Chains A and B, each alone.
Chain A
Amino acid sequence: MEHLELFFKAIFIDNMVFATFLGMCSYLAVSKKVSTAVGLGAAVIFVMAITVPLNWLLDQYILQEGALSWLGEEYAEYDLSFLSFIMFIATIATMVQLVEIIVEKFSPALYNSLGIFLPLIAVNCAILGGSLFMQSREIETLGLAFNYGVSSGIGWFLAILAIAAIREKIRYSNVPAPLRGLGITFIITGLMAIGFMSFGGMLTGGDEPEATEQPVEILEASVNSEVEIIDVEVTEEAIELVNNEKEIIE
């Protein structure tokens, strides 16, 4: 269940392109044809599936505060998290190079289709962003980190596939001249992002949030109109009281 939730959240709600604008450069540059977009998208999924879990291991066993305790007592207090940028980007750059060599050796067909895109990926913000979000959201297990890498990759893949298909069609439309090319692509992406925002409510279950929000609003309104000199702490206590009462009634 935890895996499924993370999977859908990373693809639809926190979509790399539409919610956090990561990987926009290659998203705009390589989305003129569907076939090249598919190639780049596949390469991104592939690289993210490798780098996110790898960086998770680095973060967990070397960089975090106290992560070095497996080396012995005297290392337990080291905090190397300021090095995470440099470690993550070095891992990504090396992994991309390594993947390129391996793919070239064992699957020349795949290499030919991905070939030109692989070096581009080292500087794709989506890849580094995936690792940094993995760190800041404190993902718990290696399995979840792998899941997060794959599903954010799929989210990015979906986005670039959709925009490439739209751009292929829009070539036959009469777009105002100054908007042609980059301008209209931005506006379409904006509209798609509005569409993706509707997925936001997908994982909040039923009526639960409403039940807790309502009394707070009523209370704040009454506090504002009647007594204005109440301390913030007091109002917080009052809110708790109202919540408790509501629970008891229920």
Chain B
Amino acid sequence: MGLLSKKDAKLITDPLFDNNPITIQVLGICSALAITADLKASIVMSIAVLFVLGLGNVVISLMRNIIPSKIRIIVQLIVVATLVIIVDIILKAFAYELSKTLSVFVGLIITNCIIMGRFEAFALANGPWKSFLDGIGNSLGYGAILVIVGFFRELLGSGTLLGIKVLGDPIEKTGVYAFGYENNGFMLLAPMALITLGIIIWVQRARNTSLIEN
């Protein structure tokens, strides 16, 4: 990569795998699970977080020398809340149906621990460009998990991907349904999001044994 130095590139690639915000840092699970019942909502949620975290990190990093440390939490919350309001209004204007599905979870990006966590851990101590890369990297890592969970839940739960029937038509018995396959509606319910994520963590830690907890 010519544009980015090796160190900068690491800021983006690290959170994607070995320092993933969801599976390793345990941040941002709150709003991650409830909206992963279909792939489209997961993708939109990831983009929203990408926007808020990328921009928020830059803003906080620019203000890091003038924020009194005693009231920094409130300042950070106000910055995030403003960005989230922008996202919410854009969603309502251009994707109204989707904003109904996401309902309160757009608002809950404000308290998404991933955002506060990155502000505290990174943006308050680093320059704007590095903070921007860190924000992008972490929200991509977050988005990756969301998309994986959303992919499996939509595929196994309703037999579709992004609303397209990839497994055939369950009513007319085409595709795999002709062989007696049935959709597992349980995948769409809340508990399976948790179990799917548990299995992702299992796979990840089985591949990289240095991540195992004692």
Contact = CB atoms under 8 A, between A and B. Distances in A.
To the question of whether A and B form a pair in one complex, the answer is yes
Interface of A: 18-25, 28-29, 82-86, 88-90, 93-94, 119, 122-125, 127-129, 132-133, 136, 176-187, 189-191, 193-194, 197
Interface string B187-214: 0011111110111011111100100111
A128 to B, nearest CB: 5
Given A29-B26, A89-B110, A190-B191, A21 B198 contact: no
A28 B195 contact: no
Contacts, number: 145
A129 B113 CA distance: 13
A92 B162 CA distance: 37
B110 A128 contact: yes
B186 to A, nearest CB: 9
Contacts of A21: 29-34, 190, 193-194
A86 B189 contact: no
B165 to A, nearest CB: 18
A187 B81 contact: no
Contacts of A189: 194
Contacts of B194: 21, 186-187, 189-190, 193
B214 A85 contact: no
Contacts of A28: 26, 29
Contacts of B27: 25
B107 A123 contact: no
A82 B90 CA distance: 12
8 contacts: A21-B193, A24-B30, A82-B85, A82-B88, A89-B77, A122-B77, A129-B108, A197-B189
A187 B192 CA distance: 9
Contacts of B84: 85
Chain A interface, >50% SS class: helix
Contacts of B195: 186-187, 190-191
A22 B28 contact: no
A168 B24 CA distance: 21
B23 interface: yes
Interface in B154-206: 189-195, 197-199, 201-206
Contact of B111 (A82, A125, A191, A194): A125
B101 interface: no
A90 B76 CA distance: 11
A144 B103 CA distance: 22
A202 B195 CA distance: 25
Contacts of A181: 212-214
Contacts of B46: none
A19 to B, nearest CB: 6
B107 to A, nearest CB: 5
B98 interface: no
Contacts of B189: 197
Nearest to B189: A197
B73 interface: yes
A8 B78 CA distance: 34
Nearest to A181: B213
Contact of B33 (A24, A119, A132): A24
Contacts of B192: 190
A27 B191 CA distance: 16
Contacts of A129: 30, 104, 108, 111
A30 to B, nearest CB: 11
A93 B73 CA distance: 8
Most B-side CB within 10 Å, residue of A19, A90, A132, A136: A132
B89 interface: yes
Contacts of A24: 29-30, 33
Given A186-B198, A187-B198, A123 B111 contact: yes
